[in-house]
Structure 1
Amino acid sequence: MRTTVSDRRNRSRRAATTVLATVLAGGTVLLSAPAALADDDVPTAKLTVDAPAVIGLAGQPVEFTETVTNTSSMDSGFHLFLKAVTGDGLPPTDGIAIDYRDPADGAWKSIPLWTDGQGSATAYRGDVSYTLQIPAHRSVNVQLRIGLPMGQPHNGAGNGGIQSLALESAVAIGAHGVATEEVTDTIKVDGLTTGLSGVPATAVAGGAPIEFDAVLKNPTASNYVNVANVLGIDPHATVEVRTADGGWTALTPVQGGGVDDGPGVYLEGRDSSVQADSTTKLRVRMSYDAATPLGPVTVNPCVFVNENPARPFSGTTACAQRATVQIVAPAASASKAQPPVNEASAGKGAPAVKGASTGKEAPAGRAAAPVVAAVPAAPAAPAAPVASAEAPAAPAVPAPVAAAPATVELASTGSTEQTPSYAAAGVALLAVGGGAAFWVVRRRRA
């Protein structure tokens, strides 16, 4: 690079000598020469950055392009510098990554980053290792990608996070030159969100299963790998998910890392993948055995990225709003609707029909109609009055029984809405690392 600067200076001296000789000879030309010499002496560049709008916390890096244009009239070598201002919230190592594609072999290579500042001023700096040799008035594209891995694969950091970062790009003449063009872009940071929809308010101990949807959203431009989509459940629960062919697959509960931790189930396995800008909806059914204590239980949706195989429910963690289901006894769940009244039972209270719609409770593990809320039956009309003491009484004609409307209550989610929203910024939690953290969230919300 020093050779290039020296040659440029020699050309400038020769040009100045030619101008002087022309003036001494009585010429009146080259009034525009100083401007031309300035263009040749100081190469300039223009920088265009096509940065991503949003990247995913703990997601895969997102590709983008920066274009450097040599706006001067001479060939020159330029260098590209990058700075990401993140603020506090990233782990000390492997929190952020910036890569470039090497034009020599087409491989992605990491840019070594060093940090300065602390707190809100924390920034990571680096530069592309090769020099951009650009002819006059020509452009070169530099392929880059940026991500927030939040740790290593299968060893994700469970604490921290940021909402955005400022990417500052600068192009300079040579590796140690002064920047001739700078561009700053703000990149939003988001992450996976999980939630439950349509969870019934009650379930019968030893009775029919309840059904609802588990919804996982990726609103970012990052793909995700090593994802564990988890439901924290009561120890007495059995969980199944609907398969693509319409069948049901039972899930095996996994115990957490702490002594008092409850079990959880992996809805799609421990190492699933999630595409950018996608939504995944899974149909879930859950039943509770006859030994389940009556009262409220919770269903807790969480998603973990880069879970450690030796520590279930660890890694970069986001938990959504739980759902509360009331466990009731079989008799309490039976419908109060009356069967048609016949002459033998006219004027007498008919017994309540057991079961939501079939007259009996469906066994656990099999699909059943949703639980029907108890609705009192309309009383039978009284017998017609007797016309006279001598005349025989006419038989009583029962009035028709009013049909009970079929209704389904949804589980409490801590808000006035029946269907909980997905994990919003105020609901999603980044839990402290380790298996116990997931269940700490559950206990806090219990």
Structure 2
Amino acid sequence: MGDASNLHPQLIDFLHRSPTPFHATREMSQRLLEAGFEQLDLSRRWKLQPYGRYFLTRNDSSLVAFTCADAAFTERGFRMVGAHTDSPCLRVKPNPELSQKGYFQLGVEVYGGALLNPWFDRDLSLAGRVSYRCKQGKLRSALLDLRDPIAFIPSLAIHLNREVNDKQSINPQTQLPPILSLCGEEKAPDFRAQLKQWLQGEHSDIDQVLDYELSFYDTQPPAVVGLKQEFIASARLDNLLSCFVGLSALLANSEKADQKAPCLLVCNDHEEVGSQSSSGAQGPLLASVLERILGERESLTICMENSLMISVDNAHGIHPNYADRHDGKHGPLLNAGPVIKLNSNQRYATNSESSSLFRHLCEQAEVPFQSFVVRSDMACGSTIGPITAAEIGTRTLDVGVPTFGMHSIRELAGADDLNYLHKALSLFMQQAELPFA
């Protein structure tokens, strides 16, 4: 995965295998294990070695991976990259069974700030984590990915809604439940019993399915598109593209015999809903890991002063059909390089020092770069950047590749930007010292 010459098919494979944060975390874990990283258990004591390579997960949906370099953590600081594993989607409710007009449907809840219109008329499958009691009485969890299209949310025909192209509002309670099958006059099937049936092939020890965290997703596979194959189209580019590039850069750097500084990748869950959870950026995960690595508070404080976090989350590319939604001087173009994201109200964590460092790195790596500031009369989104900066007190920078259709069921990014971002992050992780006077 560290080979930058083959990133496009690797990213497409990663996206295809990662329909939920649980699957993305499993995929990253498997690639770290294959690269020789050792998995740590948060519930046990650690014995870290100089030049050791380690990773850990929490809730099966967040991951921290790091390299130790030599023992001089405090003096050298960490080169850190942060991203998030979750994306807006439709989550299945706890008691979801619906039987309406002879159709079996499932009630859903909107997770995050999803664009809802694109969810109609798509071939949908189901994936996530299922918790169950096994026949021995223990509680266990398993990942489920049906892969096959099993559901559909049909649009209402234009003949019955003549104003749909002029105005469209969607009621998520009544208009989003997907159709799974016909059930006639019968009662809707027991969904937990159906889950048990789906899982029994690989998990024969299931006694009863107790609960689940399941999401619908579009089965259309990721693709490289465009007349010149210059774009990548996929679900969950925000923000699995950043997770993939961060991991790829970490793996590439960890393979170097002359690794100069400790590096760290954190991929948090729950960014799209505020990050306030045990596995989110506003939770204790990263700070507690750093405390365990460094041993005591003073060393952590000194180390963070010598560290830098690059928060990587997609940026809004200037849409040719909606160019007026951008500040005329800050409209990032696809395939024109990663975007430095700035906001004077701290919705992004970038300041002049961290921005200057990234500009310097991009020039050294011969990578183009751009800047984004939201229009002054529009609200600005945010990232894990400001939250992480507040939690651990280190210099932080927000960057990302420009993207169209952010939070849609299918997004578009530039194929060249994938390589540009990888080059910049790889060079960042190779810095023995940050070039601040």
Query: What is the TM-score normalised by the length of structure 1?
Result: 0.24
Which structure is richer in relative contact order (CA contacts within 8 A, separation 6 or more)? 2
Radius of gyration: which is bigger? 1
Higher strand residue share: 1
